[in-house]
Amino acid sequence: MTHRRAVVLMLLVTLLWSTAGVVTRQLEAARSFELTFWRSAFNGLALIVGLRWLRGPALWAQLTQAPRLVWLSGVCWAVMFTAFMLAISLTRVAHVLVIMALGPLLTGLFARIFLQQKLPTRTWFAIVLASLGIAWMFGHELLGAGGAEQGGAGGQALLGSLVALGVPVAAAVNWCVLQHVSHSAHKASERPDMLLSLLIGAGLSALAVLPLAWPLQASAHDLGLLAGLGVFQLAVPCMLVVHLSRYLVGPEIALLGQLEVILGVLWAWAWAGETPSSATLTGGALVLLALVGNELLAWRAGPKTPVLTSPKPENLENRREA
């Protein structure tokens, strides 16, 4: 697969991801923990069908023998699946998506810490600017203005913001794990099957929220929408992104995924009547300015600026021999 094709497919992944907020706003009865349970459950069912078709009867044996990295990635997926849906049930879709925009910067930071990748100075400046944007949004919620704007308690909106923060943190860890596995020095046949982590994540997410979601009250209308989310907003794009991690490094995946912020806000504005608050617009502008500025400076700097890439397998082999 060429890099250009991988980028196009990653944009398709982002388009599918961005539909969660606006579809959730069309639900009739399912709320909070229940909608999280059903989306993760349908995601798990779709993954069982897809992976059973890809892996055959060996799927269950591979699942029980999965190494720790697969389970670590699975826990990250579970946090991402669960925290996102809980967050958008507590605060605005736009607010959650803007907080998720910290993902690329956190991924670059974690890649520097855990994968020993060099982080350019421009990225440190971007981290500071994006942090200011998030601080503005959090300060707005602490003052209670955000709760007044959306007709709810400021404390609930602040809780939604804190829950949403779990998504970019878990995503940053996950992209680093996927990158480490995809670019490891082992032969392709010896690398862990990271698609299994998706099924683990879906199962953990559904089981974790089921006691809190009971009794289930979703209508047939809700189940249809949540099934669509589980299959087309989670299972399909997440399987694609795991495959694309072989061709795109973690920070690049996270950066391309930021199209979800723009599309998600537009969908919620156009189809759910959610007008972004002034605090969300201001904080979001700072976060997106940090991301865009970071990429523009990288493009202008060209090859002289260190690039966030993973060591090539042959380099790792040479180090071992040395």
Helix segments in the chain, DSSP class H: 3-17, 20-24, 32-55, 59-64, 68-90, 93-100, 103-114, 121-142, 145-149, 154-182, 195-213, 220-228, 236-244, 250-256, 259-271, 278-301, 313-321
Average pLDDT (79-106) is: 83
CB-CB neighbours of 215 under 10 Å: 5
The residue to which tokens 């060429």 are assigned: 2
Average pLDDT (167-172) is: 93
**Per-range mean pLDDT, top range of 3-7, 142-146, 152-156:** 3-7
What amino acid occupies position 185? A
Residues of the chain with pLDDT > 70: what percent?
85
Contact 240, 253 (CB under 8 A): no
Q: How high is the pLDDT of residue 247?
A: 85
Integer-rounded Cα Rg, in Å, for the chain is: 20
Q: How high is the pLDDT of residue 142?
A: 60
Does the pLDDT at position 242 exceed 50?
yes
Average pLDDT (160-181) is: 90
Contact 205, 40 (CB under 8 A): yes
Pick the closest to residue 76 from 103, 37, 95 (CA basis): 103
Dig out the tokens for 165 from the structure. Answer: 């923060």
Does the pLDDT at position 314 exceed 70?
no
Does the pLDDT at position 13 exceed 80?
yes
Average pLDDT (180-194) is: 74
Q: How far apart are CA 187 and CA 184, in angstroms?
A: 8
pLDDT in tens, 50-68: 999 988 888 888 888 899 9
Question: Residues 6 or more apart from 224 whose CB is under 8 A from it?
Answer: none
Question: Residues 6 or more apart from 313 whose CB is under 8 A from it?
Answer: 183, 184, 185
Question: Looking at residue 277, what DSSP letter applies?
Answer: P
Q: Is the pTM of this model over 0.85?
A: no
Least confident of 62-71, 146-155, 241-250: 146-155
pLDDT in tens, 283-311: 878 877 887 787 677 667 655 433 334 34
Does the pLDDT at position 200 exceed 90?
yes
Contact 281, 43 (CB under 8 A): no
The string over 75-94, giving b where at least 16 C-beta atoms fall within 10 Å of a residue's C-beta and e elsewhere, is bbbbbbbbbbbbbbbbbbbb
Residues of the chain with pLDDT > 90: what percent?
29
Least confident of 49-63, 137-151, 202-216, 275-289: 137-151
Pick the closest to residue 210 from 31, 25, 28, 38 (CA basis): 38
Across the chain, mean pLDDT equals 80
Question: Residues 6 or more apart from 59 whose CB is under 8 A from it?
Answer: 51, 52
Q: How high is the pLDDT of residue 315?
A: 42
Q: How high is the pLDDT of residue 205?
A: 94
Does the pLDDT at position 318 exceed 60?
no
Phi (first) and psi of residue 223, to 5 degrees? -60, -35
Does the pLDDT at position 152 exceed 60?
no
DSSP-based three-state secondary structure for 304: helix
Angle, alpha carbons 197-57-45 (nearest 5°): 50
